[in-house]
Amino acid sequence: MPEADKVPAPPVPPSPPTGAQAVHRALNLLHCFHDNGPDLSASDLARRMRLSVSTAHRLARTLVSTGFLEQDTHTARYRLGPTVAELGQLTFHQRGLHLAGPELDVLARRTGATADLAIRSGPHAVILVGGSVRPDDGLGLRRPLHSTALGKVLLAWPGAGDPEPASLGSLTAFTDRTITELHALEEELAGVRAAGHALNDGESAAGVRTLAVPVLDCAGQARFALAVRSTPDRLTSDRLPGALAQAKTCAAALTVLLLPPDQRAA
């Protein structure tokens, strides 16, 4: 082929610095424990991260030395360490989330439903406070954004830098009512913004109805999503307007409790 006809090879993107790559891998390793499953071996971690066992073991041992992981002396398996728990408690209080519990309890009593407060974490809504948080270990739930009322609220009023709905990739069907097409999800989100609230009617689990509203900041971003959840025979169509009013009152109270004065919506 003549020199003029040769197609130049595409530029090779630079590899991330070794230090940055190691930090990225270490943080991804911590994410392997999100499902709150059993302790994980080095082989388990390697398989989930698509790394060699020796690399996964080396990363895990580094995290053990800093308290982010701990290793069972009998099984050699890993679990989250005390440093993660300490940082979790610190951020919980720094965000003022300990103040949200009493407000959610009042909302639950007034609506007869489970009340939850969530934030966005990647493609999930993570419940931090409320009736869905397990009393034994303080863990909430990670739920897909596209199939939940909490998630729809967080998608409808995204924060700065939050990815677009298209970044969610394939939308998994959990019931025959789950939205699985991107264009349908975008239409749903437009309706959520127009209505000021989101509804999940059997989209994540059959026989579950959830109503959610945003806790907005002054930039119009949902810093949190607030939901009440029950069954259709308890959270009936006739009761939805009353539950919505109660949820909005609670969201207004949480705006004052959780956001600095200069970040609150007017």
pLDDT in tens, 196-234: 999 999 999 999 999 999 999 999 999 999 999 999 999
Under 8 Å CB-to-CB from 28, ≥6 apart: which residues? 49
Sign of the dihedral through C-alpha 17, 20, 23, 25: negative
Amino acid in the structure at residue 156: A
How far is 47 from 67, CA to CA, in rounded Å?
A: 23
The mean pLDDT values, 10 residues at a time, for the chain of 266 residues are 47 52 88 83 93 92 92 92 84 84 96 95 91 68 93 96 92 96 97 97 95 96 96 95 97 95 87
Q: Give yes or no for a contact between 252 and 209, defined as CB atoms under 8 angstroms apart.
A: no
Q: Give yes or no for a contact between 56 and 46, defined as CB atoms under 8 angstroms apart.
A: yes
Under 8 Å CB-to-CB from 204, ≥6 apart: which residues? 143, 144, 147, 148, 174, 175, 178, 210
Amino acid in the structure at residue 22: A
Sign of the dihedral through C-alpha 32, 221, 194, 182: negative
Q: What is the structure's pLDDT at 122?
A: 87
Q: What is the structure's pLDDT at 93?
A: 80
Q: Give yes or no for a contact between 152 and 212, defined as CB atoms under 8 angstroms apart.
A: yes
Which whole-number Å values give the CA distances from 76 to 35, 69, 242, in the listed order?
Answer: 20, 12, 53
How far is 167 from 162, CA to CA, in rounded Å?
A: 10
Beta bridge partners of 210: 200, 229
Structure tokens belonging to residue 254:
């949480």
CB-count exposure of residue 205 (10 Å: 0-12, 13-18, 19+)? middle
Q: What is the structure's pLDDT at 240?
A: 96
- Crossing angle for the helix pair 53-65 and 42-49, nearest 10 degrees? 110
Is-above-0.95 flag for pTM?
Answer: no
